[in-house]
Amino acid sequence: MSTRILVTGGTGLVGSAIKYVVETTEKRGDETWFFVGSKEGNLTDLQSTRELFDKYKPNKVIHLAAMVGGLFHNMKNNLDFLRQNMLINDNILLVCHEFNVEKVVSCLSTCIFPDKTTYPIDETMIHNGLPHDSNFGYSYAKRLIDVLNRGYFEQHNRLFTSIVPCNIYGPNDNFSPTASHVIPGMIQRLYNLINDSTTNTPQEERVFTVYGTGKPLRQFIYSHDLAKLAIWTLREYDSVSPIILSVDEEDEVTIEFVARSIAKAFDFKGRIEFDTTKADGQYKKTASNKKLRSYQPDFQFTKFEDAIKHTVDWYLQSKSQNAIRE
């Protein structure tokens, strides 16, 4: 009998990457996958969530649906991030319990860890202190998934667990100028700068402005790499405790390096400058993937600059087809 797997948020960055990987390198005949987006149901509404599950009748769930956004969108809308995500997460896990779903893998983020902490952070430290002020709403809502998972396990013996990826990027990201994360935001702004037809300034004299100092450090995971690890988690990882899915610590890069990598992928000939009046957010949030490496010691992550080039190429192709999400 085929296992029916439902992916919420299935049309977004990670969901579309999982769909691609499932249909190419990770296809199995005993699995039927369903990828659903926000158009299929309002997950902040309990009855709508129940109707979605009644339609697909999943045995397993990867829960990716969330209200998400970059640093500045979070800073302006912390209450909305808290309320919307709490509703979504509570409804999903409750309905998974009601429908006797065998396993749920929910997606957290390394940005939910305490602001004041020691590095590298690991899975045991999620609840050890206050999150950064810039995204406290999103952070507390995501932390509560871990609390819910433990509650469902202790009270109902449910195998509900969570993955904790570092910063994700890749094809099908959200390139909205007001809600995007750092990499898609830079890609969108640099594309607009290069293709600005309102000025006669040669490209060599144009200035790509990066928000902040460029000094903060970040780990970034390519969406296709995360997709492979999320599928592995669903199939093989059988603990309620969260697991960090991140590149290795030595693969941490500065925001300046990110900007220069994107400029290289576009073959941009102008200058890069930094707007230090804009907030940097946390200076670093280095995560340890020691737990992941204990299970997957030989997993090969895509080289950052190669994955950036793939992402920019996808963006340019999608732009030409008017299929980009902005």
Active site residues: 138
Q: How far is CA 124 from CA 197, 242, 322, in A?
A: 51, 9, 44
Query: Can you tell me the distance from the alpha carbon of 303 to that of 41, in angstroms, rounded to the nearest whole number?
Result: 37
Contacts of residue 204, defined as CB under 8 A and 6 or more positions apart, other chains included, come to: 269, 270
Q: Record the tokens describing residue 56, joined without a space.
A: 């697909």
Q: Any idea how long the chain is?
A: 326
Element (H, E) at 190: helix 182-194
Q: Record the tokens describing residue 106, joined without a space.
A: 């929910």
Query: Can you tell me the distance from the alpha carbon of 294 to that of 123, in angstroms, rounded to the nearest whole number?
Result: 14
Query: Can you tell me the distance from the alpha carbon of 73 to that of 82, in angstroms, rounded to the nearest whole number?
Result: 13
Hey, is 311 helix, strand or coil?
helix
Q: Record the tokens describing residue 287, joined without a space.
A: 């995560």
* Strand runs labelled E in 127-277: 159-165, 167-169, 207-211, 217-218, 220-222, 243-245, 253-254, 271-275
Terminal CA-CA length for the chain: 41
Query: Can you tell me the distance from the alpha carbon of 12 to that of 238, in angstroms, rounded to the nearest whole number?
Result: 25
**Which of 165, 320, 307, 126 shows the shortest CA–CA distance to 222?**
307
Query: Can you tell me the distance from the alpha carbon of 301 to that of 307, in angstroms, rounded to the nearest whole number?
Result: 10
Q: Record the tokens describing residue 312, joined without a space.
A: 């920019």
